[in-house]
Amino acid sequence: MELSQDMIGNMDKAASEAADVMKALANPQRLRLLCALLGGERSVGELEQQLGASQSYVSGQLARLRSEGLVTCDRDGRTIRYRLADPRVTPILERLYEVFCGD
């Protein structure tokens, strides 16, 4: 089967997107943050406690993940709640958890 230029272009685009996601997941703290969001929305304070990290560090990592389109947030009064934005990330995180954290 010979691949058309369109097929090759689509494969290149998909590979580039996958590599971008994998770069974000390559940082252990960002990976822990994303895993913490698997259970649903969390505030920065909740994430600080769960990860044992400072507010500034958590906020900085969340800003990076937002810029990469992996998380989004909603404001509830003074509280900002974060959640996963890209549904393609959930099965990746679940599989990583199964392989590396499961019994």
Q: Strands of 1-103 (E only): list them.
A: 42-43, 71-76, 79-84
Could you tell me if residue 2 is inside a domain? no
24-53 tens-digit pLDDT? 889 998 999 999 999 899 999 999 999 999
Expressed in angstroms, the distance from the first to the final Cα of the chain is 42
The CATH number that applies at residue 47 is 1.10.10.10
User: Is 69 a member of any domain?
Assistant: yes
Mean pLDDT, the chain, as a whole number? 91
81 is a domain residue: yes
Three-state SS for 80? strand
Q: What is the domain count for the chain?
A: 1
Tell me if 20 is assigned to some domain: yes
Residue 103 in this model has a pLDDT that exceeds 80: no
Buried-exposed string 42-77: b where 16+ CB fall within 10 A, e elsewhere: bbbeebbebbebeeeebbebbeebeeeebbebeeee
Its pTM stands at: 0.83
pLDDT exceeds 90 at position 10: no
**Residue 68, in any domain of the structure:** yes
Structural domain range at position 23: 8-100
